Amino acid sequence: MRTFIKKLACYLVVLLSIIVVSTTLQASEVNEIVTKTPPNVIYILADDAGINNFGSYGGTLIQTPNIDQIAAQGMRFTQHYSGSTLCAPSRSVLMTGKHTGNTRIRHNRDLALLNKDITVAKVFKKAGYKTGIVGKWGLGEANSTGIPNKQGFDYFFGYLNHGNAHRYYPEYLWRNETKIEYPNNLEKRTHYSHDLITEEALAFIERNQKQAFFLYMAFTIPHVDLDVPEDSLAQYQGKLGEDDKPLWAEDYLRHPTPKAALAGMISRMDRDVGKVMEKLETLGLAENTLIMFASDNGPSAEGASPIEFFNSNGIYRGGKRDFYEGGIRMPFVAKWPVHIKANSINNHISGFQDFLPTMAELLDVEKPDDIDGVSFLPSLKGEKQQQRHSYLYWELESKFPLNAEKQALLQMPWKLLRLNPWYFWTEYELYRLDEDPSEQQNLAKQYPDKVAELKALMDQAHGKNNDYPLAYYNE
């Protein structure tokens, strides 16, 4: 009996070894396939979402399990910066790889990208990818050179215009160059744009599952209007202590429960990020898809959006239209099985201008010579040899007389702000972010030499453009 048991044990050990070896070979074969096959890329952009609106960055009031899952299964960046503190220039930086001292669109004006501009979509096209965008574009109106279909995208569905994108029940959207009408939609409330955008994203993935694709999902949530269907509103109604008094919301819809509306909108967006990940799993594409999520700029209190209640910018000062950290330090998470280590945290200083060169390196395509971005692909892969920026730069010329023009330059640990650069009352603010990330102590008077040094870099960084002169009147 003992002899039989010993023989049986030996057989089981051999069998187990065969299974382990077989499984290991299968896993290595899968990894080899994933490594050698060009990855699909999905870049998801929220609109006016703050860094603290997400659980993976410390938020506790709004439920974002799917975006948090991307962070848990991939990488969370701690110091990733938007292209600007306003919608259009931020997107222009993302698409062109140039900071706002050089990119074509530097404000929410009626300007357009030109045919000669190189966008990240054109980089993907050069690599043989199918390219699509759903959501808000904002870099060229109809019949201009700046529409998505003339900037490297095979397919477009959504908003061209920023003003139209304020409405979640719009009168029209665009499919490529065709206007899709939704008459009296704001009254009838039959076509909620965010849901349509999500449906189009899922359909794009379905159509292109057998070829490499790049999908840019530019959601409008949580940009005001505060407006969300009842099923998402119900998740938070009666739980957040709404104020009884009506709230001012010029040019936007007034919502009777703004806290529940904002939370419901962000959770609805998160739900639909989950739908995208589920679609990838169903089609067997998840293992070979790089998926990223960020926000275009800091949170905005316009339309009575209750960002203070939710502490949307966390410890950071300011929000939308500010160059303080609350206006430009963004959530950024990325998931790419095999390549990105799960639950990893990256402190590399990066920005929207880095997306184009990162994708160029990923695709082994030559990047344009005149961009400002630096590839963060080594950081995504956890490699130690990561090129770093000498500095990051932002500028914003206002279209409103009382909304000050401004510039900012970050050269860690120092950050310099120049406010009202056109006028004789120019102000300088200097902060040391490693000791004061909330930017509470202006050190400009204590370190005049550092101010002068960074100011000189600002002057170099501003590229001449007749639409954005930033002529320093006081100097």
- How far CA 255 is from CA of 26, 230, 303, 445, 466, in Å, comes to 55, 12, 9, 45, 41
- Residues 380, 356: Cα–Cα separation, whole Å: 14
On the 0-12 / 13-18 / 19+ scale of CB atoms within 10 A, 91 is buried
pLDDT tens digits, one per residue of 298-325: 999 999 999 999 999 999 999 999 999 9
Which residue's entry shows tokens 């994108």?
Answer: 165
DSSP state of 336: -
- How far CA 437 is from CA of 214, 298, 359, 432, in Å, comes to 35, 15, 30, 7
Task: Please name which of 140, 144, 180 lies closest in space to residue 162, comparing C-alpha atoms.
Answer: 140
Residue 242: predicted pLDDT: 86
Please state whether beta strands 329-335 and 75-81 pair in parallel, antiparallel, or not at all (unpaired): antiparallel
Residue 36: predicted pLDDT: 61
For 451, the 3-state DSSP assignment is helix
Which residue's entry shows tokens 């962070």?
Answer: 71
User: Which residue positions in the chain have pLDDT lower than 50?
Assistant: 1-35, 401-402, 473-475
Q: Is the whole model's pTM more than 0.85, yes or no?
A: yes
Token pair of 105 as six digits: 């669109």
Task: Please name which of 420, 399, 417 lies closest in space to residue 409, comparing C-alpha atoms.
Answer: 417
Residue 434: count of CB within 10 angstroms of its CB: 9
**114 within 8 A of 184, measured Cβ to Cβ:** no
Sketch out the chain's domains with CATH numbers.
Answer: 39-389 (3.40.720.10), 393-461 (3.30.1120.10)
For 181, the 3-state DSSP assignment is strand
- Residues 55, 267: Cα–Cα separation, whole Å: 11
Residue 420: predicted pLDDT: 81
- Residues 76, 56: Cα–Cα separation, whole Å: 8
Token pair of 79 as six digits: 């110091």
- Residues 193, 174: Cα–Cα separation, whole Å: 11
Q: Specify the amino acid at residue 27.
A: A
